[in-house]
Chains A and B, each alone.
Chain A
């Protein structure tokens, strides 16, 4: 009897616990549902996105924090990029060059205020442009790429103009100042630049939770009409499936870049969601470390690497699902920098790859399936991270390379790991996905392979490339610019300098019940904008 009682009690407790757990699973919606039948909820947007650089929004700290500031709808630039990657007025109404493009005068729009109510005067713009160049020296944003340190900024509050005089000519300074690092912030008014910068964007930071996200509220002083949402909650979620499931479960209303083909196709087929895909300016590519002493300093090995990989099959596969377009150049084929005229001597040809290796004396002498270079088995270190299908590309490359006898050791971690190893040169392959049209042109991006550039993380050196790049920096002639771009691209291809994954399309996905409209730009500097409107809003 006693035993039976204990058993019964145990069963009862187990039953109660199970009921409790099941009760916890359900009913959440009712509890969270607004009492006014959903009208209040419609004014809150929940946005799921990848967390970059710990979610900071200080534009002087890192490139990613500058992007966050723009992407989260906090900061805006004098000009911004449109669907054709052309700079169009935003906080400024015009930009006028003079003195051979060395002096630029920006006429500011009237009546613009920061979210703290302070007027955005010419002096405020000057304050910011001076501050970002000084503060940016400590971080990795490198604002001097967009406005050189020596440029002198003068403000005329009465006329509402900012004049910038530089010793060097800018082909289009409006485009340079459209980079996210040039978002105009209230420097003196921003008490917490890291997570609470004060800008002119439609939303302002209410609170920030480390590793969780932001609570943003509408900027009461917004200059461009009524802000569509009262509140925007930004939730950090790096996992593509987590984003997709959160969308399906109604936990988020809008997500950027769900790069899981299965989930994306499922959402595209579901009428409840809208998937917008924009042909992008991004290129997925692996740096190949050519610094002295590294295996990939050997050109024959690099050539064999490029020939060993079947780029077209990878991009067409069920894994990548056409979200990337294959191509040999670091500039996306859709951007029109002479892609069609480029010649690629490294089309997929595994037998050709083996022949190159054999001729270079890179052979498998011990019969373990891996070739040896300088008497040692080749074991290339592949750094990658889970973003925009990069790990899938890295896995695919590893597989193809193994087939021709090139050993690869994968090391996958966070985006910060990938970045720190890139900067430290601790890699052989380092896979990432970069915007090729920084400041609306590929000039800055192509500097990644200029031997005198700080951003040349792979040790690439070519006199042809350097000469063409130096001319690219100074030319004002559009036709010549195009010719030089072609030379640069072809040099990188000929030197087997870069392992290109393909050209990536950005996407944004939203729940039609919650969001009426949203827009994805080719340059993904803009996520939360005043163009995202609640369902039913005009």
Chain B
């Protein structure tokens, strides 16, 4: 245990990006304080599309809203929805994959064929179609991306379970009377969890981008919700005349995605023995 703790702490990259990720999370939590109490959805049309100045350090948007406050509050929406999405696909995908791998037979066939069907479509295109059918909202965007992402986790969990499903110690546990629930919980799941946690960690950045993409296209957050993807979309008409409308939410996405991608990579370096 000590060795493992040291492994985490001795990886400078992991420590650095953990601190940065923590800062991003703190920014999201303390957005009302950091923005000085400015309401991100309140603005004055008389101040619309103003360049950055002392009063509005990131400038104002089309509705005269403070972009700095919107970027800070946008971290809340983006992080919360991304974590919700990753957690959803992690839980659903892992559960279905473990069930498919352990029981095999028709359970495996049904789950995996459904997964194959989902994988057969281009991910974002299917997500756009699903979000379009469900209606534009952040919740529906999460559902749409979850629907096209869970097969990845299910297939991975299934393959990891299959690696151990027919080993002697598993048969021994069954013979000694372990219940199915215990088999799944104590023997199958622990064999998959490390790899899947690494996958989930490295997926955070990508998922954030996909959610921002759906919002950019109008299928995610709806106005006046401050969300980075929809802010980019609102600002794109003004990319030449008022670039600050896109610059700051764009930078926010870029920085956050880089931090979580690097954090995931470093976590993989620590946890995945093949990389050592």
Contacts and interface: CB of A to CB of B under 8 A. Distances in A.
Contact of A314 (B45, B236, B241): B45
Contact of A317 (B46, B136, B222, B239): B46
Contacts of B46: 313, 316-317
A317 B64 CA distance: 9
Nearest to B225: A410
B62 interface: yes
B51 to A, nearest CB: 11
A402 interface: yes
Interface string A403-414: 100000111110
Contacts of B64: 317
B62 A241 contact: no
Interface residues of B, number: 25
Contacts of A398: 223-224
A394 B224 CA distance: 10
B218 interface: yes
A270 to B, nearest CB: 12
A402 to B, nearest CB: 7
Given A395-B63, A410-B224, A411-B136, A310 B241 contact: no
A187 interface: no
Contacts of A356: none
A75 to B, nearest CB: 33
Interface string B206-232: 000000000000100011100000000
B35 interface: no
Range, interface on chain A: 20 to 34
A396 B48 CA distance: 11
A326 to B, nearest CB: 12
Given A317-B48, A318-B49, A395-B63, A262 B224 contact: no
A313 B42 contact: no
A15 interface: no
A398 B41 CA distance: 10
B42 A399 contact: yes
Given A313-B46, A314-B45, A395-B62, A412 B237 contact: no
B123 interface: no
Contact of A262 (B50, B135, B237): B237
Interface in A267-318: 310, 313-314, 316-318
A211 to B, nearest CB: 15
Contacts of A317: 45-46, 48, 64
A275 B96 CA distance: 60
Nearest to B46: A313
Contacts of A413: 136, 218
B83 interface: no
B237 to A, nearest CB: 5
A90 interface: no
B238 A262 contact: yes
A262 B241 contact: yes
The interface centre, meaning the residue of B46, B49, B62, B236 with most chain A CB atoms within 10 A of its CB, is: B62
A368 to B, nearest CB: 14
A310 B222 contact: no
A7 interface: no
B245 to A, nearest CB: 10
B52 interface: no
B141 to A, nearest CB: 14
A263 B62 contact: no
B136 A319 contact: no
B106 to A, nearest CB: 41
Contacts of A167: none
Contacts of A100: none
B224 A399 contact: yes
Interface of B: 41-46, 48-50, 62-64, 135-136, 218, 222-224, 236-242
Given A410-B223, A412-B136, 9 more contacts: A260-B238, A262-B238, A263-B237, A266-B240, A314-B45, A316-B46, A318-B50, A319-B49, A410-B224
12 contacts: A262-B242, A265-B241, A313-B45, A318-B49, A319-B62, A391-B223, A396-B63, A398-B224, A402-B41, A410-B222, A412-B222, A413-B136
3 smallest CB-CB distances across A and B, nearest first, come from A262-B241, A318-B49, A317-B45
